[in-house]
Structure 1
Amino acid sequence: MADVLRGIKANNAFYHSLVGYAEHLQAQGDVPECLQVCQEAANYATFQYCGFYAEPRLEQLLIRIRHQAAIGPIAPAARPAATRLRVLHYATSVFEVGGHTRLLDNWIRADAANQHDVLLTQQTVPVPAFLTEAVEAVQGNVTVLDSADVLSNARHLAGVAGGYDVIILHHHANDVVPILALAAAERSVPVCVLNHGDHRFWLGVVVCDLLVEIRDNLIAADKQRRGIQAFGLLPIPVHTSAVSPEAYHASRAILGILPEQVMLLSIGASYKYDPIDEKNFFADILPVLERYEQAVLVVVGIDPASDLAIRYAHPRLRFVAPTMHLADFHNACDIYLEGYPFSSFTAYLEVGAQGKPICRMYAPPLLNAYAISTYPAPVHYPADRAEWTGYLQHLITDAQARLVAGRQEYANSSTHAPAAIQEHVRIIYRKAAAVAGKAVVNSLPTTVFSGPNDQYLYKMQYNPERLIVLHKYFKLPLTAKLHLVAHNIRSLMARSDISVRDLFWFVFKAK
């Protein structure tokens, strides 16, 4: 634990050395170079846990840059009275696979009575067709900005913002554009942040009038960690639909699942299964597969040729590369296994909405515990590995137990169904209108958090193999360079492309 706490403090110190250098550049009037360093600081905090979930120093610096770059005010646009709300969804980028884009898509589909536009600033792949179709169905537009210039993108967002009744931010954690664009003193259009990255640091508290949580068990934590005052709730939208026996058997035939087999399903990106301490999903499941010959596990999201798949190869463990075509996997499975140590909430909620039982991870930290206070049935998280194993074995061997547990999941899924989502969205709009421009009352904490949840997050994000690109930091002052090299000395010395002489040159040469 001591090593983890030292690591968090070291990350925090290097982050602040970056922000300090950015402040120096801003004071000199070098806005482009300052913005580059701000971006590096945001990147670092996003991918290396620094002990905070919101950070006031960088956010305030971005506000000063906004003034220095003369990004204009956000003036309400004159337009005819309309019965429909105009909603702007801002996202950094969207993808074919993953809950982030699906949540945006489902919001628009659930609120088809209003007009929705989508603005993207760092879209490097084609916009998913399902999202384009959803926007077009409500007479909206998808705009992809092709400029790599951050200030240009911020000016565009600031320029169009006044034409909307509400702005929803679905941005990436390290995106500086929302603050540069929307931190205007006289902004009347409300800004909501959809907290899809609720477990981690993100930029944007200073423009967040209303924080839209995807689970209300994190509201108290976000008050403490981010200093936010106003909250809404949008449970992750899913469609409730029980699977017919015909669909169940047809999908199993397609996947080659035998009638007597009990199919376990887990869905998630490869990194979500990387072990932390005692939590090793594949090491835990293999003994279960060995004991119960009727059990077969399909894991969707991991390439069969990957090192992870090869390391844990088993005759009844099947790996499937990432795909958005999940219907047959959902239909055919008997039990959903939540992957760990990092959860995929949307993945298991979609299966639970079919009336399938879910075996959740054991002893989850706060960041992995998903619950809604209005659920009609209790959510069960095993206390430890032994209880997890016992519960899973019970589900594998008892069809009636699977049926009962599946009914509970199906009952809870009504909280995520379209009708419930529509009502939540209406409440969000009403709350947002009441707090428009009130983000200034948010008080970002300066605490360095280091409790059990924070230590878990540090370990999740710790990656000694992450390459440090030294030339990006060449203009840093001496103290910041020393921080960088000292904190990453093991990985730097292990690289064949860097020598001790290179490190001395990097630290002590000015150009």
Structure 2
Amino acid sequence: MSIIKENRIMFEKLATHVFAPLERDNDNKIILSSIIASTSAWQSFPGFYCHPEMEEILYQIARKIQYHTKDFKYYIPSSIEDSRRILHVFSTTYAVGGHTKVAERWMKNKLRNERHAIVITNQKELGNSYPVPAWLIQATEEAGGVCIEIEDSYSMVDRAAALRSIAYEWADLIVLHIHPNDPIPLIAFGVPGGPPVLFLNHADHVFWLGSGVADVVLDIRESGNLLTHSKRFARNATVLPLPLDEVKIKDKKYFRERLGIHKDQTVLLSIASSYKYEPIGEYNFIKSSIELLKRNPDIILLVVGPSAQHPLWQNAYNESEGKIIATGTQNDLVPFYSVADIYLESFPVGSATAALDACLYGIPVVKSPSPLSPLFSMSNYDGMKEHASNFEDYFLQIEEYINNSEYRVSCGITQKQDVEKNHVGASWNNKLEKVMSNVPKSHIVGFGNNLKESDNFVGDHDAVLSILNQHKQRLLQDAYIKHYFPQILF
């Protein structure tokens, strides 16, 4: 039996409690069941990226909500001078992680008299208590709003009702930055009327809930947009690049001294979550890095994200005579970008935001060799070479930067200029306003038709996604099942 078929069978078993619940009138249990089933689809690819039938069950619950009968006592400032009020909705916010940073950067790029606020529906995810990042609270307050955490004691239905109440009373526009398995915004906005809803597609390579409530899906790259049009039943989808901060280059000499790196040593850098480096067949970042260091023994490679205690990274450190250094997760990335000369995209799975930030520091990026899927790598920018077709060509691309500092600096400047043109300040705001000009005036609910695939990569991506990081996926599924399933049964 294929992995995709096994995953689909598992999804169907878990979704039984959505379509044939033990208690048909217990909406909260149906919602909890949808979380478990959609977590399975998100983490163990079942062959589809959207499930309209399951979303429709949630929209039936949405039509029953009487949000105006309760006083939720949440307040967001406003003024008659506000040109537009934008409500950003999160499942959970994190101190480290790209999708939380997107909202902060969006708010920093706000237009004059625009006001922003944030609502978080599940900050105590799986019983954990993650503090809302201080930098996110500060950015929200500077944008004229507040961060609201909906109380953990609320039922799922009441959380959705509270979210609808806040949005209807305050917002002109809603932006969803939610987890792929979060049904609460679907229930909050699963009826026509109210502010239009934009869905930020930060998890563009996996299944997610929400196509039916998205008046516009905001894809962050062309490859994600292709998959949205061909697989997600979206009514409207467009590309809006990630907003990025302008970078002020720091003193390289100072940070090299701070990190104990010689001023003339060539430093390579890569930044991503640990799972993005886990090997798939020949796509083995650690193995290729060891080979690269053997060919070029005078360089060092800093890898931010993976733990130095992980056996694979311990071995890399030993094999490279201490020149491949995994640093673990770091809250402050400035020192690492500041010392780097060359940036290596993580693989098998890329980390687009980290690579784009490297471009803004003027660090030339080397993309992964011939990626398993375009959705696992960053888009191309001026001054950036195409993906190497094999590992020998990949090494040669890197070595050209190592051996020619003038060429390295020149490519870094060209990449920086193109990324700024697409992602920073007024340039990004112009792209946003073009998107806004096509947003409908009011919200509707429903699905569109999938377009015929225009590229074979979507089918290839399905196959790769089914085998990606299976161990991590099972652990996360188990955590959700352990947390929510007892609430369904009792």
TM-score bin (small chain): 0.7 to 0.9
Query: Which residue of structure 2 aligns with residue 52 of structure 1?
Result: 48
Q: Is the 8 A contact 2:275 2:469 kept in 1?
A: no
2:472 and 2:247 mapped to 1: Cα distance? 44
Deviates more, 1:404-413 or 1:116-125: 404-413
Pairing of 1:352-501 with structure 2 (within 5 A) = 352-364=359-371, 365-371=373-379, 376-377=382-383, 380-414=386-420, 415-434=422-441, 436-443=442-449, 451-463=459-471, 466=474, 468=478
Structure 1 residue 378: Cα displacement: 5.4
Give the counterpart letter for 2:46 in structure 1: C
State the structure with more CA Rg: 1
Residues 242 and 413 of structure 1: is their aligned pair in 2 closer, same or farther, counting only changes over 3 Å?
Answer: farther
Query: Which residue of structure 1 aligns with residue 118 of structure 2?
Result: 118
1:337 and 1:355 mapped to 2: Cα distance? 13
Q: Is the 8 A contact 1:112 1:138 kept in 2?
A: no
2:294 and 2:145 mapped to 1: Cα distance? 53
Residues 256 and 310 of structure 1: is their aligned pair in 2 closer, same or farther, counting only changes over 3 Å?
Answer: same
Q: Is the 8 A contact 2:199 2:216 kept in 1?
A: yes
Residues 309 and 249 of structure 1: is their aligned pair in 2 closer, same or farther, counting only changes over 3 Å?
Answer: same
Structure 1 residue 132: Cα displacement: 0.8
Q: Is the 8 A contact 2:213 2:446 kept in 1?
A: yes
Structure 1 residue 279: Cα displacement: 0.5
Matched, 1:14 2:10: yes
1:388 and 1:203 mapped to 2: Cα distance? 37
Q: Is the 8 A contact 2:241 2:423 kept in 1?
A: yes
Query: Which residue of structure 2 aligns with residue 275 of structure 1?
Result: 279
Note the residue ranges of structure 1 that are not aligned, 5 or more in a row. 477-509
Matched, 1:165 2:172: yes
Structure 1 residue 131: Cα displacement: 0.8
Q: Is the 8 A contact 1:275 1:281 kept in 2?
A: yes
- Residue 468 of structure 2 aligns to a residue whose secondary structure is helix
Q: Residues 152-174 of structure 1, C-alpha deviation per residue, up to 9 Å, x if partnerless?
A: 11000111222211000001111
Structure 1 residue 347: Cα displacement: 0.7
Give the counterpart letter for 2:237 in structure 1: F
Matched, 1:183 2:200: no
Residues 25 and 67 of structure 1: is their aligned pair in 2 closer, same or farther, counting only changes over 3 Å?
Answer: farther
TM-score by length of 2: 0.87
Aligned length: 463
Query: Which residue of structure 1 aligns with residue 105 of structure 2?
Result: 106
- Residue 195 of structure 2 aligns to a residue whose secondary structure is coil
Query: Which residue of structure 1 aligns with residue 301 of structure 2?
Result: 297
Give the counterpart letter for 2:41 in structure 1: A
Q: Residues 36-58 of structure 1, C-alpha deviation per residue, up to 9 Å, x if partnerless?
A: 22121011112111111111121
- Residue 440 of structure 1 aligns to a residue whose secondary structure is coil
Q: Find 2:25's aligned residue among 29, 44, 61.
A: 29
Give the counterpart letter for 2:411 in structure 1: A
Q: Residues 182-210 of structure 1, C-alpha deviation per residue, up to 9 Å, x if partnerless?
A: 011x3141000011111111110110001
1:57 and 1:404 mapped to 2: Cα distance? 52
Query: Which residue of structure 1 aligns with residue 92 of structure 2?
Result: 93
1:134 and 1:465 mapped to 2: Cα distance? 33
2:23 and 2:326 mapped to 1: Cα distance? 53
Q: Is the 8 A contact 1:206 1:440 kept in 2?
A: yes
Structure 1 residue 277: Cα displacement: 1.6
- Residue 167 of structure 1 aligns to a residue whose secondary structure is strand
Q: Is the 8 A contact 1:173 1:203 kept in 2?
A: yes
1:239 and 1:96 mapped to 2: Cα distance? 17
- Residue 466 of structure 1 aligns to a residue whose secondary structure is helix
- Residue 52 of structure 1 aligns to a residue whose secondary structure is coil
Q: Find 1:136's aligned residue among 137, 141, 155.
A: 141
1:439 and 1:199 mapped to 2: Cα distance? 23
Structure 1 residue 35: Cα displacement: 2.3
Structure 1 residue 293: Cα displacement: 1.7
Structure 1 residue 121: Cα displacement: 1.3
1:366 and 1:222 mapped to 2: Cα distance? 14
- What is the percent sequence identity of the aligned residues? 25
- Residue 451 of structure 1 aligns to a residue whose secondary structure is helix
Q: Find 2:205's aligned residue among 187, 196, 199.
A: 199
Matched, 1:338 2:345: yes
> Cα RMSD (Å) of the superposition?
2.8
2:304 and 2:486 mapped to 1: Cα distance? 41
Residues 229 and 31 of structure 1: is their aligned pair in 2 closer, same or farther, counting only changes over 3 Å?
Answer: closer
- Residue 431 of structure 1 aligns to a residue whose secondary structure is coil
Q: Is the 8 A contact 2:344 2:367 kept in 1?
A: yes
Q: Residues 261-316 of structure 1, C-alpha deviation per residue, up to 9 Å, x if partnerless?
A: 11000111111111112101000110111121211001111222233322322310
Residues 139 and 19 of structure 1: is their aligned pair in 2 closer, same or farther, counting only changes over 3 Å?
Answer: same
Residues 310 and 323 of structure 1: is their aligned pair in 2 closer, same or farther, counting only changes over 3 Å?
Answer: same
Note the residue ranges of structure 2 that are not aligned, 5 or more in a row. 70-75, 124-128
Matched, 1:325 2:370: no
2:55 and 2:48 mapped to 1: Cα distance? 13
2:54 and 2:260 mapped to 1: Cα distance? 53
Q: Is the 8 A contact 2:199 2:217 kept in 1?
A: yes
Matched, 1:250 2:254: yes
